[in-house]
Amino acid sequence: MADMLEVKDLCKTYVVDKRQNNVLKNISFTVEEGDMVAIMGPSGSGKSTLLYCVSGMDRPTGGEVNFDGENIGNYSEKKLTEIRRNKMGFIFQQMYMMKNLTIIDNILLPAVENIGSKKSHREKVERAKELLHKMGIPEVADHDINEVSGGQLQRACIARSMINQPKILFADEPTGALNRAASTEVMEEMTRLNEEGCTIMMVTHDSRVAARCKRVLYLVDGTIVGEYKDSGDVNTSLADRERRLNNWLMELGW
C-alpha cells in the first residue's frame, strides 16, 4: 500500500508569554492508504496538535509532512484550504453545524462551497442523501439540528465530512461527547468507511474506540513512546481486542 501520510521529524513549538512550549518533538510515522490509526496519550500530550499539524490546519515549526505524495509543509494557506476541502474530511468532538440549516443542508454545505467541483447541484444532493442512508439516518434529512439525538448528529457530521469524497478522515475525539450506545453507532460507521477504503486517523481517550483501529500510536509529552498493531485476525472479538489493547496501554502507564 502507498503512504497516504508520511511525517518526518515533526516539531511544534508554541510561544506563550515569551516562554517556549515544545509540544511535538521530532515525531516520525507513516499512515498507509486504507489504514485506521488511533492516537492515544495523556491529556496535554499533544494529540490534537499532532492531528492539526498533519492535516494542514496548523503549521509545524519543523519537519516534513508529506500528504498523498505532496510535501504540504510550506504550502500557502490557499493551497492548504483547497487540499483540506478536496482530499480531507474532519470530525471534532464538539459538533459544529449551522443552526439555521437542516441536517441535509448542513451535509451539503462543503459540497456547495466547493465551487471548483464538476458535480451539478443535483448530483451533490444525491450524494448527501446516499450518505444519510449509509449512516442509517435518512429520516432526519429535513430535521433541524436540535431535532436529532447526539449520535444522529455525530453521524450527520461524518456524512458531512465525507461529502467531497476525501482520501483521509481526521477525527479528534469523535465519540467524546457521546454515550456508549451512540459511540458504538458512530464507530460502526467509521469502521465501515474504513473497510470501503477511507484512511482514518483519529484521536481518542477511549480504548473501546481505539480497539476498532488497526494501529494505536501512544503519545507522551510530545513523543511517540509506543505503537500497537492489532493482529488483524477477523476471528478475534472486539472485546478481546479491547482487552489486549488495555493490557498494552497499562504497560505504558495509561
Ligand X SMILES: Nc1ncnc2c1ncn2[C@@H]1O[C@H](COP(=O)(O)OP(=O)(O)OP(=O)(O)O)[C@@H](O)[C@H]1O
CB of 21 to ligand X, least distance (A): 6
48 binds Mg ion (CB under 5 A): yes
Angle among Cα 200, 205, 206 to the nearest 5 degrees reads 85
48 binds ligand X (CB under 6 A): yes
CB of 206 to ligand X, least distance (A): 11
Q: What is the dihedral of CA 92, 94, 99, 103, to 10 degrees?
A: 50
Q: Which residues pair with 196 in a beta bridge?
A: none
23 binds ligand X (CB under 6 A): yes
Contact 187, 218 (CB under 8 A): no
Distances (CA, A) of 57 to 86, 129, 214: 14, 28, 25
16 binds ligand X (CB under 6 A): yes
194 binds Mg ion (CB under 5 A): no
23 binds, among Mg ion, ligand X, none (CB under 5 to 8 A by kind): ligand X
CB of 43 to Mg ion, least distance (A): 7
46 binds ligand X (CB under 6 A): yes
Closer by beta carbon to Mg ion, 52 or else 75? 52
Task: Out of 30, 44, 121, 251, point to the residue binding ligand X (CB under 6 A).
Answer: 44
194 binds ligand X (CB under 6 A): no
Contact 24, 9 (CB under 8 A): no
The most distant pair of C-alpha atoms in the chain lies apart, rounded to whole Å, by 54
Q: What is the DSSP-derived secondary structure letter of residue 148? A: S
Task: Out of 35, 36, 45, 186, point to the residue binding ligand X (CB under 6 A).
Answer: 45
CB of 203 to Mg ion, least distance (A): 6
CA 154 to chain centre: 13
183 binds Mg ion (CB under 5 A): no
Q: What is the dihedral of CA 86, 171, 53, 69, to 10 degrees?
A: -40
Angle among Cα 71, 77, 79 to the nearest 5 degrees reads 55
Q: Is the dihedral of CA 239, 245, 249, 251 positive or negative?
A: positive
Stretch that binds ligand X, among 15-23, 128-136, 180-188, 192-200 (CB under 6 A): 15-23
55 binds ligand X (CB under 6 A): no
Task: Out of 5, 6, 38, 47, point to the residue binding ligand X (CB under 6 A).
Answer: 47
Stretch that binds Mg ion, among 48-56, 79-87, 88-96, 107-115 (CB under 5 A): 48-56
212 binds, among Mg ion, ligand X, none (CB under 5 to 8 A by kind): none
14 binds, among ligand X, Mg ion, none (CB under 5 to 8 A by kind): ligand X
Tally: H helices and E strands in the chain? 8, 10
C-alpha cell at 135: 449512516
